[in-house]
Amino acid sequence: MAELHSEADNIENTAQCIMEAFKQFEVREGSVLHYQQLYPFLQERYPHYKDVQKEAEHHLTKEGYVNPAPDGLLLTQVGHTQVWG
């Protein structure tokens, strides 16, 4: 059971780092955080992101915070409120 808990923690930590990246790069509602910005940010903050990145993105999509874009993640109105208050 520890492995599943660890993977869940990795997904949650990666999702939190993605949301932090929106603030770091001053991405606002309706704008895209490009993967070319996101990947180095994640690598620096949470190197384990590669294992669970897609699951973290799916989690954020289900929560309504982001929508997939061809070259990154689009911040939704709900996500904007979460990031910027």
What is the pLDDT at residue 5?
A: 57
Q: What is the pLDDT of residues 14-68, one digit of tens each?
A: 999 999 999 999 999 999 999 999 999 999 998 888 889 999 999 999 999 999 9
Closest CA to 32 of 66, 74, 83, 78: 74
Q: pTM value?
A: 0.91
For the CA atoms of the chain, what is the radius of gyration? 12
pLDDT at 1: 28
Residue 2 is predicted with a pLDDT of: 36
pLDDT at 7: 84
